[in-house]
Structure 1
Amino acid sequence: MGADPTGPYLLGVDIGTSSTKGVLTTPDGTVLRTATRPHGVSRPRPGWVEHDPDRVWWDEFVSVTRELLTGAPAGGVPANAVPAGAVAGVAVSGIGPCLLPTSDAGDPLRPAILYGVDTRASAEITELNQAYGAEALIARGGSPLTSQAIGPKLLWLRRHEPQVWQRTRRFMMASSLLVHRLTGEYVLDHHSASQCDPLYDLTSGSWATDLADEIAPGLRLPRLHWPTEVVGRITDAAAAQTGLAAGTPVTAGTVDAWAEAASVGATRPGDLMLMYGTTMFLVQTVDRPTRHPGLWATTGVLPGSHCLAAGMATSGAVIEWFRELTGGPDYAELTAQAAAVPAGSDGLLVLPYFAGERTPIFDDQARGVIAGLTIDHGRGHLYRALLEATAYGVRHNLTTMAEVADPARRVIAVGGGARSLWTQIVSDVTSCAQLIPEQTIGACYGDAYLAAVGVGLATTADDWTRRAGMVRPNPGATTRYDQYYQAYRELYPATRPITHRLAALATESATAR
């Protein structure tokens, strides 16, 4: 491996929407090994998006961890194995906020209900806003109630699955389930809790127990810690399953996007992480709690820090959908075709709301729109227009953030699409330069950093980021995109009544089948 086989090493594992990724690093951030397991989501009904917590979250954690320790994929011959005791600390992250109801022993009672892409609790959102007041909830929790919030989903569970609710004593997310299975501890980090609207008080930094008792009576809330805090140690049972040494420290874990921000050092006021993935996500660190009805206000990953966040419902997911729809060409071919098309895709404009939209419009009934299509447009035009659509969405979110916070001083691109034509288009549309770090592995790398801080092998002042390049906007393209962006902003309100009607008809059709 090119490193001292006795360590110390840090292990980070992230449960994403479409894959589980793990990394083994040294205390200075040098990557020794990586491992990945692809997976999908379950969509049992329109608006429902779920994960199997055992098969996806735990089994893939075990598989990835064993590969990182043995140097061999599942079923392979171990090569250059790492002694279990060489791992000095473990940290995990995962998609969130999610709702996994469990028994008092921590046993899952149903599949996990995923974050904002799962829109089943729309009626409960309306009910809670009416009961407590939308503005009052934002003032206390920092964020509006949307499909991202945990409180409405808990209320939905009470209403629609009473047999499950009767047995529910705890709730977990991907990270906290893993921490529980590794250590036996029932904890949640402050950042994840701050996305459990309206159950967390952003000002006091504690559970809003009065609201929790009314919305989810009888639910035992987890103990709160910061993501950098060690909350427990690997048990003998977990050691037998994972190959890690019993007694290894485990930190509290967090939501994947915030671990990804930590992976590139975007943790100081003025830093903004732009995550290119299945969904596009933006996290800006601010110097104080800041609220906006079109954004999420949360705590950060470092003690006492604060963030504004934005997230699109789709980005990479739509791009992959298009690739499969057009016969599965590789991305290099699609990129070459799109690069040959001028900025603006020759008059083609797309709304990327193929699964509704989160910030800043919070409309789960929004739908994708392709406008300006002619028989002269080809596959390259459509592919470029989809990339441009996500860039317009980023600009819309940045513009919204600028209404309540100073513009970001440093924008850092992360994720699978961070080194591509996509990145250049986003810079051209937004007029923002983007720093490209050397490591774009993602949240699992941030987990390793958080583990290093937790066990004292790094400090919060340390930054593992090594700069690999900078993407700067092309002024000529930016001028052209300004016109298309204005049309983009006008297209949604112009088509909203029609797309809402179509969404309702689609739901009726699916229900009737």
Structure 2
Amino acid sequence: MGQDLLLGVDIGTYESKGVLTTTKGEVVAQTSIAHKLLFPRAGWAEHDPELTWWGDFCNISKKLLTTQGVSASDIKGVGVSAIGPDVLPIDENFNPLRMGILYGVDTRAVKEIDELNAQFGEDTIFNATANCLSSQSTGPKILWIKKNEPEVYKKARWFVDATTFIVARLTNRVVIDHFSAGCMVPLYDPWTSKWSDKYCKEYINLDQLPEILWSNELAGTITESASKQTGLAVGTPVSVGTIDAGAEALSVSVTKPGEMMMMYGSTIFMIQVTDNNQAREKRLWAGPYLFPNTWCLLAGMATSGSLTRWFKDNFAKDLISKEEAGGDNAYAELVNEAGATPAGAEGVIVLPYFSGERTPVMDPRAKGMIFGLSLTHTRGHLFRAVLEGMGHGIKQHVDLFTAIGARPHTIKSVGGGTKNKVWLQAVSDISGVPQEVAPLTFGASYGDALLAGVATGLVASAEEIRVWQGPPTVVKPNDELAKTYAPLSEIYAQLYDATKNQMHKLHELDY
């Protein structure tokens, strides 16, 4: 007897995840695949689109279809999300012409950002797009390809992100959702909800960009070629999908004004839904949300899980060896060491600008820093300071949202970092804001399944996610520890201002 199931697949920075759900949000099966993030040189971050984006989707789909009692005909809708905004030039047959250039962690286009700002004016671009150019912006990276890889540039039929690439492979239709398009600065005009060539005509034609739809609309159906590679049935509906952060926010029921998602992934990413499109600020991003007549403010720090991974790989090799020999998880042991260290890490402060920084400083030339070391400090102090450093950065954002009249009334936290209780508590203590952690933390793939359900009409609306999720766990701030952290947050902010010029000089040395 057949059943109605929804497939959600998300391609992340270091891992891809897939989930099968019923139309009521019950999880039937889930799986994940780890993959590599490529760093060809300092400041660059790439994925192999064939191996990682398309390959992971196909492998996840096939693996989930081996679930007992599940057949391809049971899948009534497919939803996709992926990291972004990224840049991939493809030919007319949807073949990649180079590696995918990732989002704000890739800082290769610094000169192109400066060039476009000098040509058009930073204020002009901001007023036209609700965003300033940053390492997150798509336009400068396309310009970088034109200047540095002219043969690739000439062959490009489209410039797409990872989600568009996968959906095109599935349906033969090149589409993107408004939320993702809004992140492709300065190509998207949020006031007309259309592409604009006003600030990009010298390096792209508008017909090289995808058709824009909403996240919960249908892109098309599985083609015969895609069926052979994924195991999905020909004709299965596929929704337009979105960037992973949007699907992640939806997965924890961020749909209404005043609700903020805090994503603890490879980077920190924040999305707050607002009730009007006038909420904007140069040190943040803004644009349409997932559905018609919605707007959001966005923020993102360049490192998070990528920084804790770097720390583990370089400073906890003994714990990694013990884990490989059957011992405790290396991350868990580091968290225990951090938890045994006093709040404030006894004066150690980390600037987590190890891949430059996105919001609020918008500085791809920024450098990471470990400050305040003495001979009394241990690995536990350093790891705690890494976690707290990201907490100080989050506080900067909460203060900024508050200053422009958009303080979140609810922060809903999601992602792998929510398993780290020391980190969660430190963030709430430093920022002074409670966090809600939903019981179902499958992440963006869960939001993808919901979008597929809405697109096919099998789920009434996105608000059904509130029924799918149960009551959250609440992390409340400790007022006493807030007093400990306050002066450290002040020093954290001052450190960047005091060393910015030296950071930029070091960047020019091109190490």
1:408-432 Cα distance to aligned partner (Å, 9 max, x none): 1111010011132111110000111
| Structure 2 residue 239 is matched with structure 1 residue 251 | yes
* Secondary structure of residue in 1 paired with 2:208: coil
| Structure 2 residue 64 is matched with structure 1 residue 68 | yes
Between the aligned residues of both structures, percent identity stands at: 43
* Secondary structure of residue in 2 paired with 1:32: strand
Partner residue in 2 for 1:403: 403
Query: Is this contact kept in 1: 2:246–2:290, CA < 8 A?
Result: yes
1:223-244 Cα distance to aligned partner (Å, 9 max, x none): 1100100110001111111111
Query: Is this contact kept in 2: 1:103–1:109, CA < 8 A?
Result: yes
| Structure 2 residue 52 is matched with structure 1 residue 56 | yes
Partner residue in 2 for 1:300: 289
1:342-369 Cα distance to aligned partner (Å, 9 max, x none): 1111111111111110000011111111
- Superposition deviation, residue 404 in structure 1: 2.3
Q: Which moved more, 1:334-343 or 1:246-255?
A: 334-343
Partner residue in 1 for 2:322: none
Partner residue in 1 for 2:89: 101
Partner residue in 2 for 1:7: 3
- 1:153-168 residue pairs with structure 2 within 5 A? 153-168=141-156
Partner residue in 2 for 1:475: 479
Structure 1: how far apart are the matches of 2:453 and 2:121?
42
* Secondary structure of residue in 2 paired with 1:24: strand
Paired residues, number: 495
Would the alpha carbon gap of residues 156 and 219 (structure 1) be closer, same or farther in structure 2, given more than 3 Å must change? farther
1:274-308 Cα distance to aligned partner (Å, 9 max, x none): 01111011111111122211111021112221110
1:359-403 Cα distance to aligned partner (Å, 9 max, x none): 000111111111111111111111111110000011111212223
* Secondary structure of residue in 2 paired with 1:70: coil
Partner residue in 2 for 1:204: 192
- Superposition deviation, residue 205 in structure 1: 0.8
Partner residue in 1 for 2:333: 333
- Superposition deviation, residue 219 in structure 1: 4.9
- Superposition deviation, residue 81 in structure 1: 4.5
Q: Residue 421 of structure 1 aligns to which amino acid in structure 2?
A: V
Structure 2: how far apart are the matches of 1:81 and 1:237?
25
1:172-205 Cα distance to aligned partner (Å, 9 max, x none): 1111111001000011111111111111001111
- 1:428-447 residue pairs with structure 2 within 5 A? 428-447=429-448
Q: Residue 439 of structure 1 aligns to which amino acid in structure 2?
A: L
Q: Which moved more, 1:379-388 or 1:393-402?
A: 393-402
- Superposition deviation, residue 90 in structure 1: 0.4
- Superposition deviation, residue 83 in structure 1: 1.1
- 1:248-287 residue pairs with structure 2 within 5 A? 248-287=236-275
Partner residue in 2 for 1:126: 114
- 1:87-486 residue pairs with structure 2 within 5 A? 87-217=75-205, 219-289=207-277, 290-328=279-317, 329=319, 330-419=330-419, 420-458=421-459, 459-463=461-465, 464-486=468-490
- Superposition deviation, residue 218 in structure 1: 7.1
1:425-481 Cα distance to aligned partner (Å, 9 max, x none): 100001111111011121111101111111112213322322241100011111111
Q: Residue 467 of structure 1 aligns to which amino acid in structure 2?
A: P
Query: Is this contact kept in 2: 1:388–1:426, CA < 8 A?
Result: yes
1:44-83 Cα distance to aligned partner (Å, 9 max, x none): 1222111111000001100011111113xxxxxxxx1511
Query: Is this contact kept in 1: 2:129–2:190, CA < 8 A?
Result: yes
Q: Which moved more, 1:210-219 or 1:61-70?
A: 210-219
* Secondary structure of residue in 2 paired with 1:448: helix
Partner residue in 1 for 2:325: none
Partner residue in 2 for 1:74: none
Structure 2: how far apart are the matches of 1:93 and 1:405?
31
Structure 2: how far apart are the matches of 1:56 and 1:461?
32
Supply the RMSD in Å over aligned alpha carbons.
Answer: 1.3
Structure 2: how far apart are the matches of 1:169 and 1:211?
20
Partner residue in 1 for 2:494: 490
- What TM-score comes out, normalization by structure 1 length? 0.94
Residue among 17, 41, 49 paired with 1:21: 17
Query: Is this contact kept in 1: 2:429–2:478, CA < 8 A?
Result: yes
Structure 2: how far apart are the matches of 1:258 and 1:500?
32
Q: Residue 435 of structure 2 aligns to which amino acid in structure 1?
A: Q
Structure 2: how far apart are the matches of 1:159 and 1:343?
48
Q: Residue 414 of structure 2 aligns to which amino acid in structure 1?
A: V
Would the alpha carbon gap of residues 167 and 504 (structure 1) be closer, same or farther in structure 2, given more than 3 Å must change? same
Structure 2: how far apart are the matches of 1:99 and 1:351?
28
Partner residue in 2 for 1:77: none
Structure 1: how far apart are the matches of 2:405 and 2:118?
29
Partner residue in 2 for 1:503: 507
Query: Is this contact kept in 1: 2:107–2:355, CA < 8 A?
Result: no
Query: Is this contact kept in 1: 2:197–2:205, CA < 8 A?
Result: no
Flag structure 1 segments of 5+ consecutive residues without an equivalent.
72-79
Structure 2: how far apart are the matches of 1:215 and 1:109?
17
* Secondary structure of residue in 2 paired with 1:461: helix
Flag structure 2 segments of 5+ consecutive residues without an equivalent.
320-329
Partner residue in 1 for 2:40: 44
Q: Residue 483 of structure 1 aligns to which amino acid in structure 2?
A: P
Partner residue in 2 for 1:75: none
Structure 2: how far apart are the matches of 1:336 and 1:401?
32
Structure 2: how far apart are the matches of 1:60 and 1:436?
27
Structure 2: how far apart are the matches of 1:417 and 1:211?
38
Structure 2: how far apart are the matches of 1:217 and 1:89?
33
1:146-170 Cα distance to aligned partner (Å, 9 max, x none): 1111111111111111111111110
